[in-house]
A and B are shown apart, each in its own frame.
Chain A
Amino acid sequence: MHRVLSIWLPQLPLNRLERDGDLRLQEVFAITAEIKNAWRITHLSSAAYAAGLNAGMSVPDARAIAPELLTEPSNPMRDENLLRALWRWADTLSPWVSVSSPDGLLLDITGCAHLFGGEEKMVEHASSRLADMQIDSRIAIADTKGAAWALSRFGRDNLTLAPNGNTADALEGISLAGLNLSPATLNDLRRSGLNTFEQLYAIKSSELARRFGLELTSALAKTLGHSIDPVLPKSADQIYAARMTLPEPIGLLSDLQEVLQRLAESVCARLKKRSCGARRFHLTVRCVDTGDHNLIVGFAKPCATAGAVIQQYLQPLDKLKIEFGADWFRLEAKQIEPVQPQQQSLVGEPEVSDYTAEVISTLGNRLGFDRVWQFVALDSHLPEQEFCAVEAMDRTDQPVWHQAPRKRPLRLYQSPEILHILTPGRPPQLFQWRRQVYKTLQAIGPERLTPEWWQNKKSPLRDYWRVQTESGLRLWLLNYPGHKKSEWFVAGRFP
């Protein structure tokens, strides 16, 4: 017979803040979340309970009762992180642990309890260990997952042990909310006057199924152990790392490279097997005298080739000062991303047509990735918003440059430069720019651009003209038609 231990962490978000030393917990404090377009309280401090607040209350209602209420929106991500940390900790109780989001753990403890001196001792141990970590918990052990889940949440005591082989009796008096049904079904049950487990025992399963659907009967069968409902452990993220310890410290660059070669080959082989690549590699070199040195290299494209890793490490290793040698090495791949397999040529070396990623990787590792930038195309009519520069490392694929639908100058001046008009016109017939006089031969335009009205920035209407000057220079002239003063600017020049 299986035994399942369920841990419920009712105050997980509050405990998280408490562990961070948040002083607001002493006061009237609540965690809120947006539920159906209304901000409602999900968790509250004991002072808030004392003030008469309840979970599920909307925030304005709660403020009306307790104006001094402090609130914080819930942060499910950080709660999840804490829960995952606890999930790793729960390994000490049983190797078979699954997360029951958002605030519980389920452990299959079949054959583990005697290691702690019996189930009672085990539960006490778990509870006190969690209390040491400043985490409130309610724990129950039962024959099935469903029963343990229900008892931990709706049982009378904080620690509940259901006797082996008698789940149905143990669940007597427990609310049917413990079946973890959909709210609609639960509401139906409540309307029919069915509130606790023992009320269901008397009714035939076929009748229940007809009235409330199979969801209820299958949940009940699982909870009572009539059908199988195993604890499915969530697997940990795969770690791609390799380590090497040497009997004697080494210090020669060629030796270091040899070690790195072996480590990289081992890591990359595993990455390749999973069709993955890493965007970052961490190499830890433990020197006998100066301790650990961490060397990090990055890649613009996910990499799973040992040769490339070694290539990028050549310079950092060269710079590393090793006086008395190093005897412990560890290489870990981080930021694992999937790699699309590429068509290889049938003969000879595979052809690589695009070296951009390699250039970015090499430059980034030498200069720092925050210094390697790349232009990307944006979609806008306004010339200054048609492109922007981003850190090259942030891009996974090559930017796509479509032919702009309008003719744009190769060189665009960041701030348009004003002209001195000698003979007016539209555009000016004769003008002076950068101390030189130009005569307009031909002008094409105007291209009128209005500001993007959904942006908050107020910018005027613009007219752009392509102007061919007598001296051969082709300029992009700009005029703001709404303005009183008819000023003209050079916005850019064509090649």
Chain B
Amino acid sequence: MSYAELFAKSNFSFLTGASHAEELILQASELGLDAIAITDKNTFAGVVRGYAAAKELGVKYIIGVELVFRDNVSILAYPKTRQGYGNLCRLLTIGKRRAAKGECHLDLADLLEWGDECMLIIAVGGTAKAGRVLGERFPDQVYIGMAPYYDGEDENRFAVCAAQAKRLGLPIVALGNVLMHHAQRRRLADILSCIREKTSIDKLGRLAQPNAERRLKSEFEIRRVFKDYPEALQNSMSIATSCEFSLEQLQYEYPDEVTDGLPPNERLRQLTESGLKNRYPDGCSLKVRAMVEKELTLINELNYARYFLTVYDIVAFARSKNILCQGRGSAANSVVCYALGITEASPEIISMVFERFISAARNEPPDIDVDFEHERREEVIQHIYQKYGRHRAGICSTVIHFRSRAAIHTCRSMLVVL
């Protein structure tokens, strides 16, 4: 028998989780857990970090998310397949677009629509109703989670959960309810609670952690907590094995609008040739010709033609509207970019190696940074929306986080240090 931790919050559950995803994965690997899922509140933002760390350490990593509904019911969802992951991303997008920034408004009806190809665990609250509805809609996908709170009432809580699961005919599963990877992080968890509740540590009262038990636990420790429910532990493993989705299955999908009816490679070659004619009206040197051939071959090989065409399309639009734009960075090493008019510096005068831009060994598309005149950037954005559709274009967001100076300053006020 073995155990997979399916309910752990990282610091991407803002001001709640007290450990980095990497720390959780490292600790899980040291404790010898068979698998771990990081389930942040209404976000997949932490999955990449967790995935990268798990890949390095060889821990089985399950993509998951904690869906917190408007009526405070909390359901854990784990995509089984690529389709399931897409469904959950859609679900979160719908919820976030309904609400103000930083919030997510979800209802059970949304999950009924988008919950296919996922494993679901009803973690907190509303077990009866959610269990009945979801159990009917998604047979063999729904579990009742038993999450300990380490407050002396867990035995009663588990008994209630088990009875309810029996009545609903659903299996039970053990959850760790993890907030931190190590007991030492309790202090940090309390400080985060202070920041969240906008109070200071001496006024935090019962919102503080009563103990440091909500840490990542070894199989031995967790077995003691769930000593009366061995099948709950067993089920955690069966969920872990049925979730086969991994971030590796995600592929870049480039738009088809830009090929002008031709195969993308031909279209790119055509544009490059005409671009070269503009750049070198007297015909280009053999060296440049050789570089172009080399690049086009590599682009064909790695199937990046549509990506280049997309960037070309945006730059061409900006040029046609007289919006200033300029490609920069490693893209300046590429003759193709120069020919397409994305960059302005001739690659002959730049001595950097082309492999810094694209190489077959790197296995990820090159990044072409294009800067636009900030006052007219909106026009470019609107063009993209119009051409590719609003539902297929988005603005990248970043997660800002504390730097040491702000962190020390905030802690100081929470700890009421004068």
Query: Which residue numbers of A lie inside 8 Å of B, CB to CB?
Result: 378-381, 405-407, 444-450, 452-454, 461, 464-466
Interchain residue pairs with CB less than 8 A apart (6):
A380-B205, A405-B206, A447-B152, A448-B150, A448-B213, A465-B152
Q: A444–B153 contact, CB under 8 A? A: yes
Q: A444–B156 contact, CB under 8 A? A: yes
Residues of A within 8 A of B116 (CB): none
Q: How far is the CB of B217 from chain A (nearest CB, A)?
A: 13
What is the chain B residue whose CB lies nearest that of A443? B155
Residues of A within 8 A of B415 (CB): 454
Q: A450–B150 contact, CB under 8 A? A: no
Q: Does B208 contact A (CB under 8 A)?
A: yes
Residues of B within 8 A of A452 (CB): 208
Candidates A379, A381, A407, A454; contact of B210 at CB < 8 Å: A381
Q: How far is the CB of A448 from chain B (nearest CB, A)?
A: 4
Q: B190–A464 contact, CB under 8 A? A: no
Residue of B186, B187, B203, B210 with most chain A CB atoms under a 10 A cut-off = B210
Q: A379–B153 contact, CB under 8 A? A: no
Question: Can you list the 7 inter-chain pairs with the closest CB atoms, starting with the nearest?
Answer: A379-B205, A447-B152, A381-B210, A448-B211, A445-B152, A450-B211, A454-B201
Q: Does B282 contact A (CB under 8 A)?
A: no
Q: How far is the CB of A366 from chain B (nearest CB, A)?
A: 36
What is the chain B residue whose CB lies nearest that of A447? B152
Residues of A within 8 A of B156 (CB): 444
Q: How far is the CB of A406 from chain B (nearest CB, A)?
A: 6
Q: B211–A453 contact, CB under 8 A? A: no
Residue of B152, B187, B203, B208 with most chain A CB atoms under a 10 A cut-off = B152
Residues of A within 8 A of B151 (CB): 405-406, 447
What is the chain B residue whose CB lies nearest that of A450? B211
Q: How far is the CB of B366 from chain A (nearest CB, A)?
A: 50
Residues of B within 8 A of A380 (CB): 205-206
Candidates A406, A453, A466; contact of B187 at CB < 8 Å: A453
Q: Does B202 contact A (CB under 8 A)?
A: yes
Q: Does B311 contact A (CB under 8 A)?
A: no
A464-B152 CB under 8 A given contacts A453-B190, A454-B202? yes
Q: A450–B202 contact, CB under 8 A? A: no
Q: How far is the CB of A445 from chain B (nearest CB, A)?
A: 5
What is the chain B residue whose CB lies nearest that of A455? B202
Q: A444–B152 contact, CB under 8 A? A: yes
Candidates A381, A446, A450; contact of B212 at CB < 8 Å: A450
6 extra A-B contacts, CB within 8 A, seeds A447-B151, A464-B152: A379-B206, A380-B205, A381-B206, A407-B152, A447-B152, A454-B201
- Map CB proximity to A onto B368-404 as digits: 1 under 8 Å, 0 otherwise: 0000000000000000000000000000000000000
Q: B206–A446 contact, CB under 8 A? A: no
- Map CB proximity to A onto B182-208 as digits: 1 under 8 Å, 0 otherwise: 000011001000000000011111101
**B residues 42-96 in Cβ contact with A at 8 Å:** none
CA distance A465 to B202 in the complex (A): 27
CA distance A447 to B206 in the complex (A): 14
CA distance A464 to B210 in the complex (A): 12
Q: How far is the CB of A398 from chain B (nearest CB, A)?
A: 19
Residues of B within 8 A of A379 (CB): 203-206
Q: How far is the CB of A376 from chain B (nearest CB, A)?
A: 13
Residues of B within 8 A of A450 (CB): 186, 209-212
Residues of A within 8 A of B152 (CB): 406-407, 444-448, 464-466
Residues of A within 8 A of B153 (CB): 406-407, 444, 447
Q: How far is the CB of B203 from chain A (nearest CB, A)?
A: 8
Residue of A379, A447, A454, A461 with most chain B CB atoms under a 10 A cut-off = A454
Residues of B within 8 A of A448 (CB): 150, 152, 210-211, 213
CA distance A381 to B204 in the complex (A): 10
CA distance A452 to B210 in the complex (A): 8
CA distance A407 to B151 in the complex (A): 10
Residues of B within 8 A of A447 (CB): 150-153, 210
What is the chain A residue whose CB lies nearest that of B191? A454
Residues of B within 8 A of A454 (CB): 190, 201-202, 415
**B residues 109-137 in Cβ contact with A at 8 Å:** none
Q: A449–B205 contact, CB under 8 A? A: no
CA distance A268 to B400 in the complex (A): 60
Q: How far is the CB of A39 from chain B (nearest CB, A)?
A: 14
Q: How far is the CB of B34 from chain A (nearest CB, A)?
A: 26
Q: How far is the CB of A88 from chain B (nearest CB, A)?
A: 37
Q: How far is the CB of B406 from chain A (nearest CB, A)?
A: 18
What is the chain A residue whose CB lies nearest that of B187? A453
CA distance A145 to B30 in the complex (A): 78
CA distance A258 to B202 in the complex (A): 53
Residues of A within 8 A of B209 (CB): 450
Q: A449–B211 contact, CB under 8 A? A: yes
Q: How far is the CB of A467 from chain B (nearest CB, A)?
A: 12
Residues of B within 8 A of A405 (CB): 151, 206
What is the chain B residue whose CB lies nearest that of A466? B152
Q: How far is the CB of B289 from chain A (nearest CB, A)?
A: 65
Residues of B within 8 A of A407 (CB): 152-153
Residues of A within 8 A of B187 (CB): 453
Q: B186–A449 contact, CB under 8 A? A: no
Residues of B within 8 A of A445 (CB): 152
Residues of A within 8 A of B203 (CB): 379
Q: How far is the CB of B79 from chain A (nearest CB, A)?
A: 35
CA distance A450 to B189 in the complex (A): 14
Residues of A within 8 A of B205 (CB): 378-380
CA distance A378 to B203 in the complex (A): 10
Residue of B150, B153, B187, B209 with most chain A CB atoms under a 10 A cut-off = B153
**B residues 142-171 in Cβ contact with A at 8 Å:** 150-153, 155-156
Residues of A within 8 A of B212 (CB): 450
Residues of A within 8 A of B213 (CB): 448
